[in-house]
Amino acid sequence: MNIISENTAFGGMQGVFSHESQVCGTEMTFAVFLPPQATERPCPVLWYLSGLTCTHANVMEKGEYRRMAAELGLIIVCPDTSPRGADVPDALTDWQIGKGAGFYVDATEEPWSRNYRMESYITEELPALIAKSFRVDMDRQGIFGHSMGGHGAMTLALKNPGRYKSCSAFAPIVSPSTSAWAQGAFTKYLGADQSVWRKHDACALVEDGARFPAFLIDQGKADNFLEDGLKPWLFEEAVKDTDIDLTLRMHERYDHSYYFISTFMDDHLRWHAERV
């Protein structure tokens, strides 16, 4: 693991690191915030998954999580959204496919399957590296994210309910199988058989029996992508006759930006702290 930067913040440490990923077949970069409590004892960890076109840096620079994470004693890990590198396949004319758009799935179709294995990276390789490198209580994990990252957080929680104690999302893509934002990427990464997509679709996973105790979702009503890409009401309908506790909050005037995310970041960190 290579240290790119380390900075003191709110008594803790904000670091950026890189490593050679065997899973993705390229160098991967990620950010970690260690609260001051991590110098004394293992702390719970929250995985923050970013949205389309983002890297680890977007939430690190604009998410405003450090003050509350330091207060609550939470480690925040911010992975990248896809593999990177000169030899990694990309779609230069489509921002919804390729670099910055890994969708947190393990691609099965060429040429994407050689590098785009973000589900295994997030759930297996990176956690092993974090556990080895930092004072982390791996029995106390939560996961959250924004947009494409909200999709990733919700699907990974539904598929790994024994691993994650909590899950929340900002403006998530809850039904990528029907979302204009995701259908092209799913076709490229997973093939044209839409029955395969169901394992990577929060609404379909619930319909097929997957369960997770509770979700917190915040969504701006002024989000330009609400109708075509996000559609949180579909998840509300999917969980209606289940024991899943959904808190869906719709906010007037808020859009899809980090102004929205930073406004409600403290609420999400408190939500996770109560559960991890």
Residue tagged active-site, from 151, 256, 268, 272: 256
Catalytic residue among 80, 166, 223, 268: 223
Residue spans of alpha helices (H) in 111-209: 118-120, 126-133, 148-159, 183-190, 194-197, 202-207
Euclidean distance between CA atoms 182 and 118, whole angstroms = 15
Contact 231, 179 (CB under 8 A): yes
Domain residue ranges of the chain, discontinuous segments joined by +: 2-274
* pLDDT reported for residue 180: 87
Which one of 21, 50, 82, 147 is the catalytic residue? 147
Per the annotation, the verdict on 147 as an active-site residue is: yes
**Catalytic annotation present for 193:** no
Report the distance separating Cα 14 and Cα 129, nearest Å: 17
Note if 120 is an active site residue: no
**What class does CATH assign to 2-274?**
alpha beta
Distance, CA of 9 to CA of 64 (rounded, Å): 11
pLDDT by residue for the chain (276 residues), tens only, comes to 999 999 999 999 999 999 999 999 999 999 999 999 999 999 999 999 999 999 999 999 999 999 999 999 999 999 999 999 999 999 989 999 999 999 999 999 999 999 999 999 999 999 999 999 999 999 999 999 999 999 999 999 999 999 999 999 999 999 999 998 899 999 999 999 999 999 999 999 999 999 999 999 999 999 999 999 999 999 999 999 999 999 999 999 999 999 999 999 999 999 999 999
Rg of the Cα atoms in the chain: 17
- pTM of the model as a whole: 0.97
pLDDT of residue 203: 98
Relative to beta strand 43-49, strand 12-21 is unpaired
